Structure 1
Amino acid sequence: SRMEYKHTAFSAEYKDVEKVYKKLRDNMDKVATGINNLMTYEHGGSAMKKIYHGLSMVSSASKMNYFSDADIFEGFARINKDLTDSDLDEGVREVGRKTAEAYENISKAKEKFNEQCGREMEVLMSMKKRAETTDKERENAKIYRYDLEKAKQSNNPEDQEEVDRLSELFENSQTRNIEMMRDFIGADGLQGVLTRVRDLNIEFHQECLKALERTK
């Protein structure tokens, strides 16, 4: 039969932290997918399909293959390099040269961004293991609570020593759980990953802006 808890309860702090922890734990795969999309959009997806569709309207199949091994930034750099042929107008050649250099630098900056984001993906993988450990400890806390409630409901004076022992186990388990869940949530956990990926994005886009500003 289901236990009716009259004498034991998880603390308000525990329940609040657990609610946040469970929501973040259950959304970790979405976060990983989002970061992976940030790392790979220049190689495929709907953006690349649209670019290839546009190119197919004006380019031959052989010219399309010209871009097949390049990300979108490197691909645009190659287009601009083709505009630096000596038989073209000097103004066009100058714009082509500067723009090609800019997009080559952007491509390199994106490679660096991807590498750094890859490390954050590794953090997410380790966090999955941490979540498994935390969930086991959460189950332990439920078991201690059940046993403690059962001992308290027996109203047997001889069980007082067992009640004291289980009370300590239950409280210690709650304390450990709160600490583990806060670590998962905070700067050493998901919040830290999201913050660092945001900062990497800022750094990458600043590099893009600097590279393009130099073409003026």
Structure 2
Amino acid sequence: MVKNIDFIFFDLDHTLWDFESNSKIALKNTFDKFVQNRYPLITYKNYEQTYEAINLDLWDKYRKKLITVEDLKMKRFKNTFEKFDVRLNDSAIEEINEFYLFDLSEQTALIEHTEYILEKLSKKYELGILTNGFKETQIRKMKNSGIDKYFSVLVSSDEANAIKPDRKIFDYAVNETKHKHENILYIGDDLENDIIAGKKAGLQGIWLNILSDERHPEVETILSLKELETLL
């Protein structure tokens, strides 16, 4: 059970901001602009499946510090095109990646009950965002979806020079709040990288598991953001 909370950090993607829905729109827009007419033999379904598998693998490598953030940004589209025997130079890849990130940040779908719970909690607690996403993109996401007004602190992996589950990003975030580790709550959708890593760093945690009805036996678990109403 959470107690003595002075500050609440939320993860952004998959926790408040509906990454799956928004990314599908942005990826389709990217495909329409850069692929559909130039490479008509590539279907969107194949393109999407290929990109998502490559992107997932690269993010895993990035979290494990096997590649840099620059590698991640460049290789996810470069490797996708190469799967279809299309070789593009770096400037073309950069243009595609920048378009995708900008279009992604323009999307506004939120996880159910996000605005409702942020409105309620912001009257009782100071709120912040702690994210592995890129700071500029995350700021635009929050502004365009109308939730930036609820947060006083935004900590991103590129700013902290560390990525969850590295303890350094949690310590960096705590220092930004001026509160003690044990009085800060972190709410996120990733059990390992958000909650267990946060607890190892001394924060309290609540796991948002909206993908199933499973409640962890040793971790405070919610199946909907609305459940926070009765816990906090």
Pairwise TM-score range, normalised by the shorter structure? under 0.3
Instruction: Flag the structure with more relative contact order, 1 or 2, with Cα contacts below 8 A and sequence separation at least 6.
Output: 1
Decide which structure has greater strand share.
2
* TM-score normalized with structure 1 length: 0.24
* Structure with greater proportional helix content: 1
Structure showing greater radius of gyration is 1
Task: Give the alignment's TM-score, normalised by structure 2.
Answer: 0.23
